[in-house]
Amino acid sequence: MFEKDKDITSLTTFGIPAKAALFAEYSSAKELLRISRSPEFTDNEVLHIGGGSNLLFIKDFNGLVLHSAMKGITRYDKDPHTAFVIACAGEKWTDLVDWCLAEGLAGLENLAGIPGEVGAAPVQNVGAYGAEAADVIHNVECFDTVTREIKVFTNEECRFGYRDSRFKHDWKGRYYVLRVSFRLTPSVEASNLTYGPLANLAETLGHTPSITEVAAEVVRIRASKLPDPAVTGSAGSFFKNPVVSRYLFEEEILPAHPDIPHYKVGEHMVKIPAGWLIEHCGLKGAKEGGAAVWPKQCLVIANAGGATGHDVKELADRIVSTVRKKIGVSLSPEVNYIDTSVTVTILGSGTSKGVPEVGCACKTCTSPYAKDKRMRASALVRTHGMNILIDPSPDFRAQALANGIFDIDAVLITHSHYDHVGGFDDLRPFCAKGKMPVYLKEDVNTDLHKRLDYCFREHPYPGVPAFEMNEIGDSPFFINGLKVVPISVMHGKLPILGYRIGDFAYITDAKTIPEEEMEKLEGLKTLVVNALRAREHFAHMSFHEAVEFIGKVRPEEAYLTHFNHEAGYHHVMEEMFGPRIHPAYDGLVINS
């Protein structure tokens, strides 16, 4: 059932070499159920893939890759005006569109030629030429990996958005699509011709286009702009079209770029074509190793020959940086980065007063050395193409500016003490695209609702930050498919949380850690843990206690953080703890 060291290059449209430590394919829900009960599933990170048209493997996947081989398409006619088509997740999307055209069913013709499989349609809410899958999806049948039951979600429950759905957020990693039901119209006459390239099709043909003629035109247009994945690897559109505030657009962007194309989105937002931004920043044909911006459509990054995942990511990062600097707009990848490595930036390594302390003239507070300047404790974790913030400290604005943080995908909260949450309001720039997901304990959520009541009112003041508060306990949870393990620790008598992500764990403000939580720390590569000072403290680990704790966990590398001014000079501490225990400092980057 399981293959080891499986070459999965052919299962992605980029054509970039990639392997999976374990691989399994299933052709029925019963087979998937058996897989979900196996140790290969329960003991490994799991990635479920479809046609691989939205995946970029930065490196080999050290876990289990699952792929659906479920096939079958069925039609049910409700009445002369409505037909339901149920397609299994493993069917190719282009085969489904062709099948519907042959059956004389309208609704999918504008989506012809899109690579990938049916199971990805509700996940990505695939769209093109004035149509989206959400326009015709009736419901989605899924396998619940937690309860191991089959569930059916309505269109409304999926919360479809622009290239978005709940399957990319709170449902990611939990629900695997088995079948998708589409509500189509028995008709050979096309009706959706509002999108630019199709608007003149009727005039060109001299008659109302059929669904087959629309599909053929869409395929022709796509072929003229996009590389054939059978010849040149790509993921199609690499970036989403950015949506910005009307104020930013009218006051900053439009005066500097009066010819910029744009589309209103509601009353207060404006959508800008990402391809135009990339081209007008001089990036048409830009290259990085074997990766290149496709000259016929700058929204595409292609494998021009021998590209690696790092080549594509480096080019994408250069595009994002250039567009931000020249036009002031942030681009977001539509492609999912598959990268299990973890990079951590220590934004702040100080305790509640920071170092230097206000009004203190001790040797540490008056130190001329940069590494002795310690803002309040906070960290940024980069993995799986996401930026995850642990605790927005009162110094977060300065930390974000100092470290060039332009995007945050989620926030983890350890506890509600002010030195760990005082920068919540500084998150408002990152809430412009929607509510910021925050993960925290119930008591912390209650506390923050009181402190930040202006953010949670029924009619909040315009411009205040918006948060999606997700209450968590001691059990693992997922952020866009990324597994996060909460670690319960005691801050004196107060129970708080640390977090484990992959082989990295971050624990701050701990005095003791229950024995039953220690097993969550087994096999760590990197540990960051608090060590206030040499003297003991009633609520924080001292140097000695932190070193003793590290000895029990036995990570490959450990870093100490949350120092007060009594901790002394950084360069002195470097000599104190041995070769694999290091004092952290503000701006330290750790690769785990």
Active-site residues, by number, are 163, 237, 334
Burial of residue 492 (CB within 10 Å: 0-12, 13-18, 19+) is middle
Name the amino acid, one letter, at 149.
Answer: E
- Phi then psi for residue 155, to 5 deg, are -55, -45
DSSP of 81-149: TEEEEEEETTSBHHHHHHHHHHTTEESSGGGTT--SBTTHHHHHT-EETTEEGGGTEEEEEEEETTT--
Name the amino acid, one letter, at 538.
Answer: F
Question: Distance (Å, rounded) from C-alpha 387 to C-alpha 380?
Answer: 7
Residues ≥6 apart with Cβ < 8 Å to 109: 97, 100, 101, 190, 192, 211, 212, 214, 215, 218
Q: How many other CB atoms sit within 10 Å of the CB of residue 419?
A: 24
**Token reading at 490:** 């005691």
Cβ contact 252:328 at 8 Å: yes
Q: What b/e sequence results for 73-106 when a residue is b if at least 16 CB atoms lie within 10 Å of its CB, and e otherwise? A: bebeeeeeeebbbbbbbbbbbbebbebbbeebbb
**Token reading at 245:** 């505030």
Half-sphere exposure of 420 (CA within 13 A, CB side): 20
Coil, helix or strand for 108?
A: coil
Q: What is the dihedral of CA 9, 523, 374, 402, to 10 degrees?
A: 0
In the sheet that holds 61-68, the strands lie side by side as: 3-7, 19-26, 61-68, 46-49
**Token reading at 75:** 């039609």
Strands 436-440 and 467-471: parallel
